[in-house]
Amino acid sequence: MSFLDRMKKTRIARSIVYFIVGVFSYPGIAVINKLKITGGENLRNLPARNVLFVSNHQTYFADVITFLHIFCAVKWKRFNRLGFPIYLLNPFTRVNYVAAGKTMKSSLLSRFFSWAGAITVKRTWNPDARDSRKGLNPSDTRNISKALAENWVITFPQGTTKPFAPCRKGTAYLIKKSNPTVIPVVIDGFSKAFGKKGLNLKARGVKLRVTFKEPLRFSGNESLDEIMQVVMDSIEQSERFADPLQA
């Protein structure tokens, strides 16, 4: 591991990144737009490691940054609100998030934000079917497993901001292999409020919703397809949610 990679994992480096990104992003999340957090009590008393947050995905950065704000607020015993962001002075930094390697190299913002705990992965696509995913490659899965052994991890099972896209099998494999505490998250409003590839505002006064659901329970005997179905139902991205008549 290079010196730079070791630096990225230090609390002081992450704290500096959290503070800078947090100060600039807070107005767009909680002042210009309005964040509503539901289910924050489900974050109470979670273990310090091996917790996997699975969520639908709407923007490249605003989603994750909002999660980090919330986790820092939870450290300060604010479970369903942010309040004034004094929590940025002592943030909760034991978090990693899964992101496409190409995305995290696409701009100065993304390169800087990668210091907040990015686990970069390669997108693996089936060349014969644009919407069919083969999952994560083995080295990426190992890196995420290592992160889970030490921290909380945020992942987006669909691997895209396209609504109702299919789940990646790598997420199910990770759940089966690492047996983490799995917290489903449903978000809404971010694609309306923010640009897809940055923190630029598209609209004002948007209600940003983040709902943390109760942990999912797995016996360990489920197939990968069964795990994928449970995850997609929990983040409200399965076929029955795409069709209002089935939801």
List CB contacts of 114: < 8 A, sequence separation 6 or more.
8, 99, 104, 120
Q: Give the pLDDT band of residue 247 (cuts 50, 70, 90).
A: low
Model confidence pLDDT, tens digit, residues 91-148: 999 999 999 988 888 888 889 999 999 999 986 544 444 444 455 677 888 899 999 9
Indicate whether 215 pLDDT > 80. Answer: yes
Strands 95-100 and 118-121: parallel
How many other CB atoms are there within 10 angstroms of residue 150's CB atom? 13
Q: Of 228, 203, 206, 207, which Cα lies nearest the Cα of 218?
A: 228
Higher pLDDT, 237 or 125: 237
Q: Of 64, 66, 74, which Cα lies nearest the Cα of 98?
A: 64
C-beta of residue 217 within 8 angstroms of C-beta of residue 167? no
Residue 34, both tokens: 């309005």
Model confidence pLDDT, tens digit, residues 184-214: 999 999 999 999 988 999 999 999 999 999 9
The predicted pLDDT at position 130 comes to 46
Q: Of 139, 116, 102, which Cα lies nearest the Cα of 25?
A: 116
List CB contacts of 150: < 8 A, sequence separation 6 or more.
49, 94
The predicted pLDDT at position 136 comes to 60
Q: Of 58, 87, 47, 8, which Cα lies nearest the Cα of 182?
A: 47
Residue 210, both tokens: 């983040």
How far apart are alpha carbons 139 and 145 in whole angstroms? 10
The predicted pLDDT at position 245 comes to 54
The predicted pLDDT at position 9 comes to 81
Indicate whether 1 pLDDT > 70. Answer: no
Chain mean pLDDT for the chain: 91
Q: Give the pLDDT band of residue 232 (cuts 50, 70, 90).
A: very high
Average pLDDT over residues 1-15: 83
Q: Which amino acid is at 13?
A: A
The predicted pLDDT at position 124 comes to 55
Beta bridge partners of 53: 154, 183
The whole-model pTM stands at 0.91
Model confidence pLDDT, tens digit, residues 141-188: 889 999 999 999 999 999 999 999 999 999 999 999 999 999 999 999
How far apart are alpha carbons 164 and 242 in whole angstroms? 6
Residue 197 DSSP SS3: coil
Is the sign of the CA dihedral 74, 200, 118, 211 positive or negative? positive
Percentage, residues of the chain above pLDDT 70: 92
Percentage, residues of the chain above pLDDT 90: 77
C-beta of residue 213 within 8 angstroms of C-beta of residue 183? yes
Written as one string, the DSSP assignment of 5-29 is: HHHHTSHHHHHHHHHHHHHHHHIII
Establish how many alpha carbons lie within 13 A of residue 28's alpha carbon, considering only the half-sphere containing its beta carbon. Answer: 23
